[in-house]
Amino acid sequence: MKNSSVVSLIILEAFYRMEDLKYLYIVIFFMLYMLVLFANLTVIFVVISNKVLHKPMHIFLCNLAVNGIYGSTALLPPMLSTLMSPFHVVSLACCKAQTYFLHTYTIIEYTILSVMCYDRYVAICYPLQYHTIMTITKVYKLIVFSWGYPLVAFALFFILTLRLTQCRNIIGRVYCSNYSLVKLSCDDTNVVSTIGLVSVVVYSFPQIVMTFYSYGHILKICFTASKESKIKALKTCTPHLFAIMNYSVGCFFEIVQSRFDTSYLPFETQIFMSLYFLIFPPILNPAIYGLSIQALRSNIFRLCGSKNKLLPLK
Dihedral over alpha carbons 198, 204, 210, 216 (to 10 degrees): -90
pLDDT confidence bin for 81, thresholds 50/70/90: very high
Judge whether 2 lies within some domain. no
- Counting the structural domains of the chain, the total is 1
pLDDT confidence bin for 173, thresholds 50/70/90: confident
Q: How many CB atoms lie within 10 A of CB 234?
A: 12
Q: How many CB atoms lie within 10 A of CB 296?
A: 23
The CA–CA distances, whole Å, from 159 to 8, 34, 106, 148 equal 18, 33, 18, 17
Residues 148, 150, 153: CA angle, nearest 5 degrees? 100
> By the 8 A CB rule, do 82 and 12 touch?
yes
Q: How many residues in the chain? A: 314
Judge whether 189 lies within some domain. yes
Q: Which of 75, 68, 80, 74 is nearest to 36 (CA)?
A: 68
What pLDDT does residue 295 have?
64
pLDDT at 1 over 80: no
Judge whether 310 lies within some domain. no
pLDDT at 307 over 70: no
Residue type, 273: M
pLDDT at 314 over 50: no
Judge whether 314 lies within some domain. no
> By the 8 A CB rule, do 176 and 98 touch?
yes
What pLDDT does residue 175 have?
92
Dihedral over alpha carbons 53, 59, 63, 64 (to 10 degrees): -70
pLDDT per residue as tens digits for the range 95-114: 999 999 999 999 999 999 99
The beta strands (E) that lie in 155-303 are given as 170-171
Judge whether 1 lies within some domain. no
pLDDT per residue as tens digits for the range 128-163: 899 899 999 999 999 999 999 999 989 988 998 888
Read off the pLDDT of each residue in 247-267 and give the average, rounded to a whole number.
80
Handedness of CA 75, 10, 200, 101 (dihedral sign): negative
Ramachandran class of 201: left when φ > 0, alpha when ψ lies in -120 to 50, beta otherwise:
alpha
Read off the pLDDT of each residue in 156-174 and give the average, rounded to a whole number.
88
Read off the pLDDT of each residue in 204-227 and give the average, rounded to a whole number.
80
Judge whether 3 lies within some domain. no
pLDDT per residue as tens digits for the range 3-53: 444 678 899 989 998 988 899 999 999 999 999 999 899 889 888 888 888
Judge whether 133 lies within some domain. yes
DSSP state of 163: T
pTM metric for this prediction: 0.87
Judge whether 185 lies within some domain. yes
pLDDT per residue as tens digits for the range 216-230: 888 887 777 677 767
What pLDDT does residue 304 have?
65
pLDDT at 166 over 80: yes
What pLDDT does residue 303 have?
63
| Neighbouring residues of 64: CB distance < 8 A, sequence distance ≥ 6 | 109, 112, 113, 116, 243, 285
pLDDT at 313 over 50: no
Coarse DSSP helix, strand, coil percentages of the chain, rounded to the nearest 5 percent: 80, 5, 20
What pLDDT does residue 115 have?
92
What pLDDT does residue 242 have?
85
CA distance 166 to 6: 6
What pLDDT does residue 292 have?
63
Domain residues for the domain of 36 are: 9-305
pLDDT at 312 over 60: no
Residues 278, 256, 203: CA angle, nearest 5 degrees? 60
What pLDDT does residue 294 have?
65
* Parallel, antiparallel or unpaired: strands 9-12 and 89-91: antiparallel
CATH number for the domain including 128? 1.20.1070.10
pLDDT at 257 over 90: no
What pLDDT does residue 5 have?
47
Read off the pLDDT of each residue in 242-258 and give the average, rounded to a whole number.
82
The CA–CA distances, whole Å, from 27 to 24, 83, 131, 177, 266 equal 5, 11, 46, 24, 21
What pLDDT does residue 72 have?
94
Read off the pLDDT of each residue in 72-100 and give the average, rounded to a whole number.
92
